[in-house]
A = this chain, B = another copy of it.
């Protein structure tokens, strides 16, 4: 039972669109991630995905609208809904779901696999 400072956890991430687990409660993983640029369109048929922005501006592109999230904004992408997160500049966020989704199936761009920091 340890507390975690979310900003400090975010500062340890050195790869874009790569989730790091900081806690688990009731089967949900609480993960931090940083992003810049765009991911790929994808959907999760098994889980809702919840975002809370801590720094910067994250755009959740949906097929019919864009959701623009800034600090302390929370948004839930329901299961089965296509989405494509992107950020022109650096963004830091918390993401909650059933497992790690920062993989190719989860829209992670291939180039994002290389450390950029």
Q: State the oligomeric state as a number of copies.
A: 2
A72 within 8 A of B: yes
Evaluate contact between B1 and A52: CB separation under 8 angstroms: no
Q: How many residues on chain A are close to B (CB under 8 Å)?
A: 36
**In the complex, how many angstroms separate the beta carbon of A99 from the nearest chain B beta carbon?**
11
How far is it, in angstroms, between the C-alpha of A72 and the C-alpha of B50 when the chains are bound?
A: 17
**Per-position contact with B for A14-28: 1 when CB-CB < 8 Å, else 0?**
000000001111111
Evaluate contact between B48 and A4: CB separation under 8 angstroms: no
A97 within 8 A of B: yes
Q: Which 9 A-B pairs have the closest CB atoms?
A: A25-B48, A25-B50, A3-B75, A6-B72, A4-B74, A7-B72, A25-B76, A3-B73, A26-B48
